[in-house]
Amino acid sequence: MKLSTREAAGYLARPDPSHAGILIYGADPMRVSLKRREIVAALLGKENDLGLTRIAAGDLRREPSLANDALKERSMFASGQRVVLVEDATDGLQAPIAAALADHAQGDAYLVVIAGALNARSKLRKAFESHPNALALGVYDDPPSRAEIEAQLAREGLRDLSREAMEALSGLSRALDPGDFGQVIAKLGLYKQGDATPVTPQEIADMAPLTQEADLDDLLHVVAEARVQDIGPLLRRLETQGIQPVAIAIGATRHFRTLHAAAADPGGVQSGLSRVKPPVFGPRRDRMARQAQGWGLRRLEQALTVLIDTDLSLRSAATAPPMAVMERALIRLAMMGRR
């Protein structure tokens, strides 16, 4: 049976041990590994490490009966649910895995098979998709759904987040890879232990990893708030990090386009910021709302003209130092913001 992405979060958190097993496949090893870790932990529980049997793909290729034998064996030491894990599987292992599934009986271990990208004609996929008591889950490079985020939060004891906090996490999930996003959730769970107050967007921002984009954001806020004296030091910091002037121009254009979209929205600035993608949330949304209101639609259009001209100049064969060109444009924008 196919397990849809919508159903996956609930099943991985509470898998049915009476099923014969599941195939988890996808092109991104990190995303597949996170799903594998989640279902194995849910099946075994916290104190049943002896219930897991790992089989390497090479060993199963040399000895095809390994998977079937492992599913049926009983341990004197392990109690509770047992799991047999086959990693790095390919279509070449379809025959022994399909045989193990066909021979699966009540009381046998749960089979978890991990594979890379498999196309629709894959024999291994068909073995699981056509089996009445097994599942196949494709893992794709999509941001986690709300259900998946809520499942991760629940594992860390975090529930009933406000709409603003969920928007913050959703935006963060689109900016980070799955491993880093999972670490943010884990850190948030540790931070809120013993704290019954609701999770705030600022706390989520504090848990997020520090990146070069954070310094770029600081620079763009400084420009939009007309703080001319702070542009130079921030620009020097970005330059020492290796950030190129063109990247700063692209970031500044994106920032001012967001302000322009907010100022032009018929429902008001807050409505406009809630519609942009990726979404703007928490204290950052309030800050950008003040910027959009302060600039107004006409001056934001002028600012975008300056940035587009600067970007074209940076990409041309002009002999002027690129960082000096960028600094001049940012100072000009900040001066425009003071009018």
DSSP string, 145-190: PHHHHHHHHHHTT-----HHHHHHHHHHHHHS-HHHHHHHHHHHHH
Point out the domain boundary residue: 171, 189, 207: 207
Q: What pLDDT is attached to residue 277?
A: 72
This prediction's pTM: 0.58
Q: Say if residues 324 and 213 touch (Cβ distance below 8 Å).
A: no
- Cα–Cα distance measured from residue 304 to residue 137, given in angstroms and rounded to the nearest whole number: 45
Q: What pLDDT is attached to residue 48?
A: 64
Residues 326 and 227 in one domain: yes
Query: Where residue 271 sits, what CATH number does that domain have?
Result: 1.20.272.10
Residues 134 and 30 in one domain: yes
Residues 180 and 304 in one domain: no
User: Range of 28's domain?
Assistant: 5-139
Q: How many CB atoms lie under 10 A from the CB of residue 279?
A: 14
Q: How many CB atoms lie under 10 A from the CB of residue 274?
A: 16
- Cα–Cα distance measured from residue 208 to residue 191, given in angstroms and rounded to the nearest whole number: 13
Residues 10 and 128 in one domain: yes
Residues 245 and 200 in one domain: no
Residues 12 and 38 in one domain: yes
What's the average pLDDT block by block, 10 residues per block, for the chain (339 residues)? 87 92 93 92 79 92 94 74 93 95 93 94 95 93 82 86 84 78 89 88 78 72 93 87 89 94 90 77 82 93 95 85 93 88
- Cα–Cα distance measured from residue 335 to residue 311, given in angstroms and rounded to the nearest whole number: 19
Residues 23 and 111 in one domain: yes
Q: How far is CA 152 from CA 13, 185, 233, in A?
A: 9, 7, 39
Domain total in the chain: 3
- Cα–Cα distance measured from residue 290 to residue 224, given in angstroms and rounded to the nearest whole number: 10
Point out the domain boundary residue: 139, 166, 191: 139
Query: Where residue 103 sits, what CATH number does that domain have?
Result: 3.40.50.300
Q: How far is CA 243 from the centre of its chain?
A: 24
Residues 135 and 27 in one domain: yes
Residues 105 and 133 in one domain: yes
Q: What pLDDT is attached to residue 67?
A: 94
Name the DSSP letter for residue 54.
Answer: E
Residues 12 and 134 in one domain: yes
- Cα–Cα distance measured from residue 138 to residue 5, given in angstroms and rounded to the nearest whole number: 8
Residues 76 and 196 in one domain: no
Point out the domain boundary residue: 186, 207, 228: 207
- Backbone angles phi and psi of 139, in degrees to 5: -110, 120
